[in-house]
Structure 1
Amino acid sequence: MADFAPWIGREERRRDILTPGLLTRWCATLDRAEPADQTAPQGLHWCLCPPDAPTAELGPDGHPKRDDSPGSLLPPLPLERRMWAAGAAEFVAPIPVGAGIERRTRVLAITEKNGGTGPLVFAELAHETLADGVVAIRETQTLVYRDAPPPGSPLAPPPLAEGRFDATAWDATREVLPTSALLFRYSALTFNTHRIHYDHPYATGTEGYRGLVVHGPLIATLLLDLARRTLGSETALARFSFRAVSPAIADEALHLALKHEDGGLILAAHAADGRQIMAAKAVPAP
């Protein structure tokens, strides 16, 4: 077992500004109108304070390199695949256009486990996003690292089967096609250089996916947008949590779904054949 104790409690701070241009580009990426009050729609915060490592300091997968130095938020790991496994956000206050943003990040835990595909390392981070000095969002993020698949392994996820997504169990549904152009724009908004989102030969040949992989936070953003459309409010939710279940592949339909349950909301994203891609829960704002 590796000793991750030196990394627990490490902190990082980043600063940004929510510019009118970012709001416009974010809304254009999602094919929606800008909010009338010019405040950040829920989910836009994932495009603020992005990583800004120089190009020369990127690793083979496109992520910033990790090392043993005191300035490295996370430790170096031999595991090649990285995914955003889960997240939970509390929306405390709105973020207005023009606000100065500070994001404070702290490493909560790093744990090793063995899964069905081999060794796994989970990193749990706490984020606090402030707008003009006021706490706007509190969030936890779970990253998972795992080995690349052995040569000859079948590509993931499996090809689409003959089943179909069943919309009858849901109160609201929406079908979205995450094109490669949408993935490119979202990578640009988040300054995300992970090659699984834009480099098809790398995504399929090195990491073993069946095509370009749709960003986890992009799927979560689309679910937040479904809540906005259903509840009729830009600040529809007080809390939102999600868990990645299976990869979504570019240019294959995503079925977004929402239902009311016990005073809260259940949300999900499915592939066309019914395979679940993301599971989520939410608490509507008062």
Structure 2
Amino acid sequence: MTLSMDGMRDIPAGSMPKTGPPPGAGLSDWVGRKETVTGCVPVTSAIAIHATLSRPYLDCPAAGDPMPALWHWYAFPSAVGTCDLAADGHPRLGGFLPPVPYERRMWASGRLQFLGDLVVGEEIEKTSTITSIEEKSGSAGGMVFVEVEHELRGRRGLAVRESQTIVYLPIAPEFSPPPRKMAPTRDLVIDIRQPVSTALLFRYSAITFNAHRIHYDLPYARQVEHYPGLVVHGPLQANLLLAEATAWKGRRPDRFSFRGVHPMFQGADIHLRATQAGTGRLDMCTVAAAGHICMQSKAEWED
């Protein structure tokens, strides 16, 4: 299995538990751990999110308006104090998430089902459950997969079911990218050029309250995590793809999934591409300047 979604941020949370299973517990003791937090996307945040994602042909949603799909990611900024951040800028582990003994953390994939709309300004309740923890060995050494299920509810009830796979790896002494998979160039129904500036990376880190240094600290990214450049956030890529899918169909999909296959680095413009697979599905990807896929995704509509 290719593991390459470097830069995917840790699970957002409105609050972080102070304690986990007792000292000496194994990673498997975190399975079944659950937390419920509340959050909100107020009007001021909606304005910042809309400005960051740069959809000038759309009006910014106002108080009481439905939020675009995936905007629930911005409702739960981490409440961890700066003094409690690890050297990489992530919150230290051992609260809700298990204390995995590897330095590199990646949000490798996600699967979402949209059951209803969440709206700007409403209180959103998120219940998160760690459903599995699996330890494996790969070419870079040990690795740990953590599966987390989320349910999000607004005033109208259950709106989103989401599953996230987080992967933990040791930091290798040098960057060793996975094999490149070239992107489609024919039968495209979407082919959008997307500029990715350092300002965009900064703004996206800001709206997600994500301090992971690989997105804004070039010396750290190169010298500590051994990347060739600043890493483009995985959630940013997913959000850009889903926005294009929504614009193409005229409404958000009922299901959306994504998986990182190669890290994306800031520099030249990227492309957002899609091919149609039947009447109710788009196969989508982000494409680096060299022509290879960085994120694969699938958007599906039931009718």
TM exceeding 0.5: yes
Answer yes or no: is 1:226 the counterpart of 2:251: no
Please point out which of 59, 69, 90 is paired with 1:34.
59
Shift, 1:28, TM fit: 0.6
Distance 2:99 2:191 in 1: 41
Identical residues among aligned pairs (%) = 39
Report what 2:192 is aligned to. 174
Q: Greater relative contact order (Cα 8 A, min sep 6): structure 1 or 2?
A: 2
Distance 1:59 1:50 in 2: 17
Report what 1:129 is aligned to. 152
Distance 2:146 2:45 in 1: 29
Distance 2:144 2:54 in 1: 36
Unaligned runs of 5+ in 2: 1-24
Report what 2:74 is aligned to. 47
Distance 2:41 2:296 in 1: 29
Report what 2:21 is aligned to. none
Answer yes or no: is 1:255 the counterpart of 2:271: yes
Shift, 1:229, TM fit: 2.1
- Preserved CA contact (<8 Å) 2:183 2:285: no
Distance 1:251 1:12 in 2: 38
- Preserved CA contact (<8 Å) 1:84 1:142: yes
Letter in 2 for 1:225: A
Report what 2:261 is aligned to. 245
Report what 2:283 is aligned to. 266
Kindly tell me the number of residue pairs found equivalent between the two proteins.
274
- Preserved CA contact (<8 Å) 1:187 1:197: yes
**Aligned-residue CA RMSD in angstroms?**
2.1
Report what 2:298 is aligned to. 281
Letter in 2 for 1:265: L
Answer yes or no: is 1:62 the counterpart of 2:85: no
- Preserved CA contact (<8 Å) 2:61 2:120: no
TM-score (normalizing by structure 1): 0.89
Unaligned runs of 5+ in 1: none
Report what 1:80 is aligned to. 103
Report what 1:101 is aligned to. 124
Q: Deviations over 1:177-226 (max 9, x none)?
A: 21111111111111111111111111111111111111111100000011
TM-score (normalizing by structure 2): 0.85
Distance 1:108 1:81 in 2: 21
